Amino acid sequence: MGTSDAEQVRRDELEPIDLARRIVDVIVDKKGEDIILLDLRGLTTLTDYFIICSGTTERQLDALLAAVREMTKKSLGILPLHIEGDPSSGWILMDYGSVVVHLFAPELRVYYDLEGLWRDGHVVVRIQ
């Protein structure tokens, strides 16, 4: 399913940091835990920002996924380029190109340690 011209204009007008902050706001509203917004510009060409957060239950991970997806689609006209994983797996990746969202069950977040792997990234926001 392609994007309309209006959706493409909105995607082009939105700065990556603004998209990241809007997503962080939604995660905060849905009670995501230990939220980190990492600036990875200059460290990788894969993306500009990582958002990493924890959800304590499968139900909460599902709510976080749905809330981010709904806000970006309805408010911004942006769909993720790719979604990998699901709430039952304890890890979800939402790829918005310049912003990649990682939603983790706490034990998988510790196991994958993205904050450690990307420790050279600049922490823009940390909400515990």
CATH code, domain with 31: 3.30.460.10
Average pLDDT over residues 14-23: 96
> What's the one-letter identity of residue 39?
D
> What's the one-letter identity of residue 17?
I
Contact 36, 99 (CB under 8 A): no
Percent pLDDT > 90 in the chain is 88
- Select the more confidently predicted residue: 5 or 14: 14
- Which residue matches tokens 């835990």? 33
- Number of structural domains (the chain) is 1
Average pLDDT over residues 50-73: 97
> Where residue 14 falls among pLDDT bands split at 50, 70, 90?
confident
Contact 109, 17 (CB under 8 A): no
- CA–CA distances in Å: residue 3 to residues 23, 94, 116: 20, 17, 35
Q: What average pLDDT does the structure give for the chain?
A: 91
Average pLDDT over residues 12-31: 93
Report the phi/psi class of residue 47: left, alpha or beta, with left for phi > 0 and alpha for psi in -120 to 50.
beta
Domain range for 11 is 5-127
